[in-house]
Amino acid sequence: MTQLSPSILAADFARLGDECRQVLNAGADMLHFDVMDGCFVPNISFGVPVLQSLHKALPEAFFDVHLMIRRPLDYVEAFVKAGAGCITFHLESESDPGETIDAIHAAGCKAGLSIKPGTPASAVLPYLDRLELVLVMSVEPGFGGQKFMPSALEKLKELRAACDARGLSPWLEVDGGVDAVTGPECVAAGANLLVAGSAVFGKADMAAAVRGLKSL
């Protein structure tokens, strides 16, 4: 079954706890927590203290942390302590991927690896057996509300085939411009975890948006 991870980047930060509770009550499986450092991507979002507060307010929630930062390895411990359920970092970051995966696991957390639109799916293959999640970006990371890039679909297919061939079943997540139109295409290509920011928090009826995307 397809799972949904609403990106809180599109939430009203003045009402963050309430909006997170609303989407979880409507059936969202987890919360997508986009961390941006103004270096790896040209935008700054939020970090450890915000996760700490949300985790305290919503102890049952699973936090799908997406690190768009230059040196993810340096922050693994802090995000795990703050309540991360899975930490996904970028293959294009400055940290060594193998070392970072090991550090995330050693801290007792699930590990995810993400690729930007310009990085081929094949770059993930050496790490595939060690990952609980693979994230294919369908926009350039840094901002919500961008248009879905269809080139992500081929990557999802390739990664789904590689997982099947190796008998692996990590979450295959897609992030950026996912909505009621592009979501079904992603699912058909092999994604089983959809991130949606504006298509959930940007809607007047967030609960209906969650139910719609969950039914894909």
Ligand X SMILES: O=C(CO)[C@@H](O)[C@H](O)COP(=O)(O)O
d(CA 75, CA 78): 5
Q: What is the dihedral of CA 37, 40, 42, 45, to 10 degrees?
A: -30
Query: Which amino acid appears at position 92 of this protein?
Result: E
User: Reading across the β-sheet that carries 63-68, which strands appear in turn?
Assistant: 3-6, 193-196, 171-175, 133-137, 110-115, 86-90, 63-68, 31-36
* Residue from 19, 34, 179, 185 binding Co ion (CB under 5 A): 34
- Active-site entry in 29, 34, 64, 179: 34
Known binding residue 142? Answer is yes
Find the residue with minimal CB distance to Co ion.
Answer: 66
Q: Which does 93 bind (CB under 5 to 8 A by kind): ligand X, Co ion, none?
A: none
Helix runs in the chain, H state only: 16-25, 48-57, 76-82, 97-106, 151-166, 182-189, 198-201, 206-214
47 is a site residue for ligand X (CB under 6 A):
no
Query: Which amino acid appears at position 27 of this protein?
Result: G
- Active-site entry in 29, 64, 175, 179: 175
Known binding residue 18? Answer is no
* Residue from 83, 144, 170, 212 binding ligand X (CB under 6 A): 144
Is position 12 annotated as part of the catalytic site? no
Is position 34 annotated as part of the catalytic site? yes
Q: Which helix (H) or strand (E) holds 33?
A: strand 31-36
Nearer to Co ion, 48 or 106 (CB): 48
Q: Which residues are annotated as a binding site for a divalent metal cation?
A: 32, 34, 66, 175
Summarize as ranges the residues that interact with ligand X (CB under 6 A).
7, 9-10, 32, 34, 66, 68, 139, 141-146, 175-178, 195-199
Annotated binding-site members for substrate:
7, 66, 142-145, 175-177, 197-198
